[in-house]
Amino acid sequence: MDDESAARKIRIHGIVQGVGFRPFVYQTAVRHRLNGTVANTSTGVTIHIEGPSARIDNFLSELAHKQPPLAHVIEVHVEPADLNGHSDFTIVHSRTGEGPATLISPDVSICDDCRRELFDPGDRRFQYPFINCTNCGPRYTIIDDIPYDRPKTSMRQFAMCAACQNEYDDPQSRRFHAQPNACADCGPHVSLRTHTGETVSTDDPIGEAVNILKQGRIIAVKGLGGFHLAVDATNDNAVRRLRRRKHREEKPFAVMSPGIQEVNTYAAIEPEEKNLLLSSRRPIVLLNKKKPNPLAESVAPGNRYFGVMLPYTPLHYLLLAHGFSALVMTSGNMTDEPIAIDNDDALKRLGNIADFFLFHNRDIYLRSDDSIVRRTDGSNRFLRRSRGYVPMPVFLKIPMPPVLGCGAELKNTVCLTKGKNAFLSQHIGDLENLPTFEFFTLTIDHLKRILGIEPEWIAYDMHPDYLSTRYAEDQKRAEKIPIQHHHAHIVSCMAEHQIDGPVLGLSFDGTGFGMDGAIWGGEVLIADHAEFTRVAHLDYFPMPGSTSAITEPWRMAVSYLYGTFGERMWALDLPLLAEIGETNLRIITQMIDRGINAPQTSSLGRLFDGIAAMVGIRSRVHFEGQAAMELEMQSAEGDDGIYGFRWSPGPVRRIDIRPLIREITGDITSGISRNLIGGKFHRTLIALFTQLAEDLRRETGLDRVVLSGGVFQNLWLLSGFIRALERNRFTVYTHRVVPTNDGGISLGQAVAAAAIVRKGP
């Protein structure tokens, strides 16, 4: 006889639904010969366990040390319970209840077991494009309510056949309670359509799609989080045709390859990058191009990187199993709109781009773009945190009230908080048109529902014209708290490192509305969560033509030159000025002189643009930041020192960049290469702000520096600042969990607003 019988109630919080947690508990309980129940609840997983107390202890310790691969346990509560006299262990039906939201798993790429079955002619799911199990498959994109059970997903319309149901009910099966479980007899299917929507009659739609791709044609493929536009990445004509039709001139396209071996033919892969490519999250990873390489030049023109991902759905594996080394897989949208997710909507919006459509009939409830990650300085750096990562929360240090952060205008995401969790949404896009705004409101409503959060406070950007600002103002039930853009950047980085202030914050980006109405972007702040003081910034220069100066960097170049040289500008022997011509120059200088449509800016992003135009890299861009990015890529290490700079005395130091502009102009006229000028410019910025940080440390004693803002996507600056500041004994914090660009702003807004609420009036 064992020792005395006991009973325990165990409540587990974390990512424990849709990841095989209940079968794991079941199998563990059975192995320890214990009885009771396990259930999903809206708060997580609840276990009632009874049996000899020594065995219960063993059970608990196994629970603490072993977990299914996709589970992420945050908290476990164990309490005594009454013996109910269970005679076995069972998984009971889900029940709903009040309490903190459970965590929903992100979408997970197909696992190795399922992939083996997919290509096993003896398996009953041989070549079935929707094969999945408890360890893999769609999650976030197919859920529209909690708890995570089949009737709450877009699988509800597919009744399982007897064979699938048996697996679903069998605790020994890999598909025990796998909610999207299906097979060719009972589950979703693919179909091939023409660009006008007629069904192409074929027994093998995927094989036919492969033939079409091999002819160099474009297929819109419905995936996990939305449609992709696919085309053979080695066929330059085909890729160019896709660019023309999509109105996407130069922004790089992502590619998908069947495996590491194929990626190796065109890109260099570091070990950490390989792990990232193969991880179940399957992001797009930026990899250095090999030269020469077999991919079409038009895939990523003028870029040092390829954005590469491996297949993450069975459908992708089937498409790529026919000899492609890489397919372009770019978001299925017209530039600037959200990706299409419905078949009908895709036909309407992509009918002029794609030649054919590969549809399937498993609905996507919430679109989710591919995530984009780069490895630098030993960490993942997100350019976009979306599919595969969302809705995994950012874990915070202190509990939060329910706040909604509305994000910024570009690369928008939203953020909802509850307890110690900040839930960042998937990438929503640039909030500049109605379809994107609708996606924004839909995502907020959806997240509120599946996370069970009703925000009492809404944090938003101070820019009066942003659609997100209008949205915030329209919400009646919550209190609104505006958060300055660059403060939000710094707080987002503090939040992911779980640090409080005060810190020195270097907040460098393209555009953010300042407290004085100017456009900020080269800011040094002393900040904590609730407040900030602006202690230094790049001196103001006008942006002639306002937003036109973003797409036409030559305007910024003129502004810097005119602001530095005044009337002497006309005598400068610069190729750019000759290219612009006197008429255009007169228009711009008049705008500046009269202050018409020429807002003031301290943006470092604009300075990068202006210098890129001055050295002749480009005077017009196809996407924000393109000129700055090319300046980074064309810059070379040299050893000829740095350019001059100075700043006015505090409390708000104005950094005078006229010495820098003057010396760069001199270098251009004396024929120094743009690569060397670019390198020297980078070194100058690092030296300047490191000196400034030392100055501020002497004054304030602060020795923690937080780096945030879109400019830190520039790896030269990111690594350079980390090295220089650490050499000078600063502790440096950089983004590893959320993007340094505006995709991280919503987190900073929510955390800052919560601190303001906590502090009270």
**Shortest Cβ contact with Fe ion: which residue?**
509
Coil/strand/helix, residue 53? helix
Contact pick of 56, 103, 133, 146 for Zn ion (by CB under 5 A) = 133
Strand pairing category for 305-309 and 379-384: unpaired
Residue 224 near Zn ion by CB under 5 A: no
Closest to Fe ion by CB, 299 or 503: 503
28: phi then psi, degrees, rounded to nearest 5: -65, -45
Which is nearer to Fe ion, 311 or 407 (by Cβ)? 407
| Residue 512 beta carbon to Fe ion: minimum distance, rounded to whole angstroms | 5
User: Among the candidate windows 128-136, 298-306, 426-434, 488-496, which touches Zn ion by CB under 5 A?
Assistant: 128-136
Q: Which is nearer to Fe ion, 388 or 512 (CB)?
A: 512
Site string for Fe ion, 214-243 (x = CB under 5 A): ------------------------------
From the list Zn ion, Fe ion, none, which binds 742 (C-beta under 5 to 8 Å, kind-based)? Fe ion
742 is a site residue for Fe ion (CB under 5 A) = yes
Burial call 26-65: b when 16+ CB within 10 Å, e when fewer: bebbeebebbbbbbbbbbbbbbbbbbbeebbeebbeebee
Q: Which is nearer to Fe ion, 425 or 564 (CB)?
A: 425
Give the footprint of Fe ion on residues 480-509 (CB under 5 A).
509
Q: Which does 509 bind (CB under 5 to 8 A by kind): Zn ion, Fe ion, none?
A: Fe ion
185 near Zn ion, rule: CB under 5 A? yes
Please give the size of the binding site for Fe ion, defined by CB under 5 A: 3
Rank residues 190 and 493 by Cβ distance to Fe ion and give the closer one.
Answer: 493
According to the binding rule CB under 5 A, does residue 189 interact with Zn ion?
no
Residue 75 binding result from Zn ion, Fe ion, none, given CB thresholds of 5 to 8 Å by partner type = none
Q: Which of residues 372-431 bind Fe ion (CB under 5 A)?
A: none
Stated as kind and residue range, the H or E segment containing 239 is: helix 236-246
Q: Which stretch binds Fe ion (CB under 5 A): 170-178, 377-385, 545-553, 741-749?
A: 741-749
Residue 127 or 603: which CB sits closer to Fe ion?
Answer: 603
Which one of Zn ion, Fe ion, none is in contact with 706 (Cβ closer than 5 to 8 A by kind)? none
Pick what 161 binds: Zn ion, Fe ion, none; C-beta below 5 to 8 Å, kind-dependent: Zn ion
* Strand ranges, E, within 179-303: 190-194, 219-222, 227-232, 254-256, 284-288
Q: In the bound complex, what is the minimum distance in angstroms from residue 551's beta carbon to Fe ion?
A: 17
Parallel, antiparallel or unpaired: strands 72-80 and 5-17: antiparallel
Q: How far is the CB of 183 from Zn ion (least distance, A)?
A: 3
* Shortest spacing between CB 605 and Fe ion, in angstroms: 9
Q: Which of 6, 14, 2 is nearest to 391 (CA)?
A: 14
- Name which position in 186, 499, 518, 687 contacts Zn ion (CB under 5 A): 186
DSSP three-state, residue 336: coil
Q: Interface with Fe ion by CB under 5 A: which range of 62-70, 90-98, 463-471, 734-742?
A: 734-742
CB of 372 to Zn ion, least distance (A): 25
Helix 626-634 with 604-614: angle, nearest 10 deg: 60
Residue 164 interacts with, from Zn ion, Fe ion, none (CB under 5-8 Å by kind): Zn ion
| Tokens 């570009």 sit on residue | 410
* C-alpha–C-alpha distance, residues 168 and 666, integer Å: 73
* 604 vs 657 by CB, closer to Fe ion: 604
Half-sphere exposure of residue 60, counting CA atoms within 13 Å on the CB side?
Answer: 20
Instruction: State in angstroms the smallest separation of the CB of 94 from Zn ion.
Output: 22
Sole binder of Zn ion in the list 60, 63, 146, 183 (CB under 5 A): 183
The entry of Fe ion, Zn ion, none near residue 232 (CB within 5 to 8 angstroms by kind) is none
Minimum distance, C-beta of residue 210 to Zn ion, in the bound complex (Å): 24
Q: Amino acid identity, residue 170?
A: D
- Partner interacting with residue 495 (select from Fe ion, Zn ion, none; CB below 5-8 Å by kind): none
Q: Which partner in Zn ion, Fe ion, none is near 186 (CB below 5 to 8 A by kind)?
A: Zn ion
**Cα distance between residue 277 and residue 412, in whole Å:** 25
From Zn ion, Fe ion, none, interface partner of 185 (C-beta below 5 to 8 A by class):
Zn ion
> Is residue 545 a contact partner of residue 552, using CB atoms and an 8 Å limit?
yes
Q: How many of the other CB atoms lie within 10 Å of CB of 69?
A: 12
The answer to whether residue 667 forms part of the interface with Fe ion (CB under 5 A) is no
Q: How many CA atoms lie within 13 A of 544 on its CB side?
A: 24
Q: What minimum distance in Å lies between the beta carbon of 160 and Zn ion? A: 6
The vertex-213 CA angle with 209 and 219, nearest 5°, equals 70
Residue closer to Fe ion by CB (options 81, 518) is: 518
Cα separation, 140 vs 447, whole angstroms: 10
CA distances from residue 691 to 355, 366, 642 in whole angstroms, order as listed: 57, 47, 13
Stretch that binds Zn ion, among 132-140, 462-470, 575-583, 729-737 (CB under 5 A): 132-140
Q: Which is nearer to Fe ion, 369 or 409 (CB)?
A: 409
Region 142-161 residues binding Zn ion, contact defined as CB under 5 A:
161
Could you tell me if 642 and 270 are in contact, meaning their C-beta atoms sit under 8 angstroms apart? no
Distance CA(85)–CA(82), nearest Å, equals 9
Q: Which of residues 508-537 bind Fe ion (CB under 5 A)?
A: 509, 512
Residue 668 CB, nearest approach to Zn ion (Å):
58
In angstroms, the CA 579 to CA 159 distance is 67
What SS3 class is residue 541?
strand
Instruction: Map the footprint of Zn ion across residues 68-127, applying CB under 5 A.
Output: 111, 114
Task: Pick what 218 binds: Zn ion, Fe ion, none; C-beta below 5 to 8 Å, kind-dependent.
Answer: none
Beta bridge partners of 356: 194, 219
- Quick one: 183 or 604, whose CB is closer to Zn ion? 183
Give 325 or 507: the residue with its C-beta nearer to Fe ion: 507
SS3 state of residue 699:
helix
DSSP string, 317-333: HHHHTSS-S-EEEEESS
From the list Fe ion, Zn ion, none, partner contacted by residue 663 (C-beta under 5 to 8 A by kind): none
Edge-to-edge, what's the strand order for the sheet holding 372-376?
A: 190-194, 356-360, 219-222, 227-232, 327-331, 254-256, 305-309, 284-288, 372-376, 379-384
Could you count the other beta carbons within 10 Å of the beta carbon of residue 94? Answer: 18
Whichever of 354 and 494 has its CB closer to Fe ion, that residue is 494
Distance CA 631, CA 634 (A): 5
Token pair, residue 75, equals 């908290």
Task: Kindly indicate which of the ranges 2-10, 190-198, 579-587, 739-747 contains the residues binding Fe ion, using the contact rule CB under 5 A.
Answer: 739-747
Which residues of the chain form contacts with Fe ion (CB under 5 A)? 509, 512, 742
Residue numbers at the binding site for Zn ion (CB under 5 A): 111, 114, 133, 135-136, 161, 164, 183, 185-186
